[in-house]
Structure 1
Amino acid sequence: MQCNSCTVAAIKFEIKLEGQTNLSALPMVIEHLKRREIDVVLKGNKLQIDEKGAREFLDFCNDLLVMEAATFRINQEAWQPLQEMSKVFAMEWIDAVIKDERIICHYQPIVDGDENIYAYEMLARFQNEDGSMIYPNEIFPAAKTRGRLYALDRVCRMTAVKYAAALNGTKAFINFIPTSIYSPEFCLRSTIELSEKLGVNPNSLVFEVVETEKVDDINHLKKILSYYRSRGFDYALDDVGEGYSTIELLADLQPKYMKLDMQFVQGVATDTKKQEIAKKFLEKAQEIGSIPLAEGIETRQDFDWLKQLGYQLFQGYYFGKPSATPVAVVQTLTTS
């Protein structure tokens, strides 16, 4: 059994009409939709219809309703103004990207203090039907608008596991969005099964919390991370200073890795404010037994400063840009 949210199932629209004008027009709206052979479920002042019906509804009602007194939602998500419905239709292309799995992964090296490869972060790259690239800043808003974050996160996670199999035991950092997992035992089962099928050692996979969607339910996050830990996987927390501000909470989450965001890394060798943040971050990591990782390194000076301070792992263009194949770090790097 698969949940509809994790697949590209048909979107179910629920439309709520309020106000005397809209409620008076409701019988006329129902009659029109039925005449167009569109199935409608009416519950009080709410209509439930499929996407074809929602398109017809919007066309028919544009000049009939008081739009400010009408809202809609998809797949039981938050209510939105009816004017926003056309955006859901416009983002239909994301369904094909997910359904056809037009996703590949690029590898970006993560190195230790001696610049030896420690791991690779698996970075998703998305493609149009003609093979041209779709940028992440287009993909994720489209998925959110269409209610496809669950499905997108799942296919990205599965693709990353497939690409991790090519690393032959070298660690792979795989991003995931906590809010896209409602039940770890159910939602992560396919990921676990795929890793077992491909012979990927759980110890080689590190699942990295992505805070693109801020985590409000910390207990839910702890449940997810506990499940990962029980299955032998490690996990990392990104942007720790933003979302997890107390030592007590960090100790409770027990991350194996903590990543210092690039905004505090780039220029740290000469910026005293960034140095203070880097030091406090390192103290947090050491106190709870996490491995500190600095990302976004682009210069030798920042690398040397952080290494001398006590950071253990490093990531950034200085060591290698994301590439289609997992390349070794070139040691003849510039010192600029």
Structure 2
Amino acid sequence: MECNNCSVNELKFEIKVEGELNQSILPQVIEHLTRRNIEVKEKEQGLIIPESGAKEFMDFCEHFMATDRVEFRINKEEWKPFSQIETVMDMQWIDNVIKKELITCHYQPIINGDGTIFAYEMLSRFQNEDGSMIYPNEIFPAAKSRGRLYALDRVCRMTAVKYAAKLEDKKAFINFIPTSIYSPEFCLRSTTLLANQLNVDPKQLVFEVVETEQVDDLDHLKRILTYYKERGFNYALDDVGEGFSTAEVLAELKPQYMKLDMQYVQGVAEEAGKQKVALSFLEKAIAVGSVPLAEGVETEEDFNWLKEKGYELFQGYYFGKPEAEPRTELVYA
């Protein structure tokens, strides 16, 4: 069973109309759509229509109504100007990607200081049915515009668990967006069941908290991480030093792994400002019992500096780019 947010049913557009002209025409709009066999639900200031009827409504609206006084929303999200509704409809292709799970994973190695492989980060790759690639800067804006981020996050998470099953004794770092999970017990049940079905040891999986927007409810995030921890999974705080991943959040969450954001890693061997930040978060990670991990390492100089100061795990192009198959050996200067 899936929640409405994680399923990919036909979108329902909630339309709000304002102004005397629009309100006077609204009954005619509803009558017109009904004659066209379009399902319409009347609201006090507007109506709700399925996406299949949205084009008909758009045509009527543009000819007879003041469109600057019309707004829409989906999934009870924020209201948007009517002019943006066509963009949402143009992104319908994302529904097919999610429904048909046109997603694979690549493996990027995470190494110990001696160059041996400790784990892999599972990085999602997306494609069309013809096999052509869809880039992340296309997929995520499309998912967000159609209210599909929750569904996309879920299918990416499930795919990553499947790909992790082939790693045997290595850990798999799997990204997840905390705001896509409204109830850990409900939303994460399918993830834990899949891991059990594939005989993946929970200790093998490390769920990375990634978030491009502020997480307002830190207590909710703690409940999610507690759910993971109680079932034997580990978790990491990603992009530390960037966005909401501050020292205070690190202290509150006490993750098993702390990933220092790459902006403080690249060039750290030469730049005093980055060194100060890297050392500060290293100290805080050790204080809360987190393993310090530096991501985005691209040069030998940065790697050596970070290792000498106490960072234990490393990730970046210096050691290996994401690949379709997990690397078993690493070669670097």
Instruction: Using structure 1 for the length normalisation, give the TM-score.
Output: 0.96
Counterpart CA distance in 2 for 1:132 and 1:36 is: 37
- Separation in 2, partners of 1:44, 1:316: 55
Q: Which residue identity does 1:226 align to in structure 2? A: T
Cross-structure match for 1:298: 298
In 2, distance between residues paired with 1:35 and 1:6? 33
> In structure 2, what is the equivalent of residue 8 of structure 1?
8
Deviations 1:165-208 (A, max 9, x none): 00013100000011111111101110000000000000000000
1:196 is aligned to 2:196: yes
Partner of 1:21: 21
Kindly indicate whether residue 183 of structure 2 is the aligned counterpart of residue 183 of structure 1: yes
> What SS does structure 1 have at the residue aligned with 2:194?
helix
Amino acid at match of 1:113: G
Q: Residue 72 of structure 2 contacts residue 85 of structure 2 at CA under 8 Å; is this kept in 1?
A: yes
Q: Do the aligned residues in 2 keep the contact of 1:319 with 1:329 (CA within 8 Å)? A: no
SS of match in other structure, 1:143: helix
- TM-fit CA distance, 1:330: 2.3
Report the counterpart of residue 246 of structure 2 in structure 1: 245
- The aligned runs of 1:1-336 (5 Å cut-off) are 1-242=1-242, 243-247=244-248, 249-331=249-331, 333-334=332-333
How far off is 1:40 after superposition? 0.7
2:296 partner amino acid:
G
Contact 1:264 1:274 (8 Å CA) reproduced = yes
- 1:317 is paired with a residue whose SS is coil
Query: CA contact under 8 A between 1:269 and 1:305: conserved in structure 2?
Result: yes
Whole-angstrom CA distance in 1 between matches of 2:172 and 2:184: 20
TM-superposed CA distance for 1:114, in Å, is: 0.5
Separation in 1 of the partners of 2:2 and 2:197?
A: 19
* 8 Å CA contact 1:110, 1:313 repeated in 2: yes
Question: Shift of the alpha carbon at 1:44?
Answer: 1.1
Deviation at 1:5, TM superposition (A): 1.3
Instruction: Give SS of 1:62's match.
Output: helix
Contact kept? 1:169, 1:200, Cα under 8 Å: no
How many Å separate the matches in 1 of 2:314 and 2:136? Answer: 23
Measure the CA separation in 2 of the matches of 1:122 and 1:327.
13
Q: How far off its partner does 1:84 sit?
A: 0.8
Aligned-residue Cα RMSD (Å) equals 1.1
Give the conservation status (yes or no) of the 8 Å contact 2:115–2:330: no
The unaligned stretches of length 5 or more in structure 1 are none
C-alpha separation between the residues in 1 aligned to 2:3 and 2:41? Answer: 22
Structure 1 residue 125: Cα displacement: 0.2
Asked if structure 2 preserves the Cα contact closer than 8 Å seen for 1:109 and 1:329, the reply is no
Structure 2: 5+ residue stretches without partners: none
Equivalent residue letter for 1:4: N
C-alpha distance in structure 1 between counterparts of 2:206 and 2:126, whole Å: 22
CA contact (8 A) 1:298 1:317 kept: yes
Residues 154, 105 of structure 1: alpha-carbon distance in 2 compared, 3 angstrom cutoff: same
Is contact 2:239-2:262 (8 Å) kept? no
Instruction: Give, in whole Å, the separation in 1 of the partners of 2:329 and 2:276.
Output: 29
- The aligned amino acid for 1:185 is E
How far off its partner does 1:53 sit? Answer: 1.7
User: Shift in Å at residue 329 of structure 1?
Assistant: 3.7
Offset at 1:295? Answer: 0.4
Q: Is the 8 A contact 2:237 2:250 kept in 1?
A: no
Distance 1:143 1:60 in 2: 27
Distance, in Å, in 2 between the alignment partners of 1:30 and 1:119 is 57
Whole-angstrom distance in 2 between the partners of 1:4 and 1:139? 20
User: What percent of counterpart residues are identical?
Assistant: 65
Dislocated runs of 4+, deviation >2 Å:
244-247, 249-252, 328-331
CA deviations on 1:248-277 (whole Å, 9 max, x unpaired) are x42321211111111110111001111111
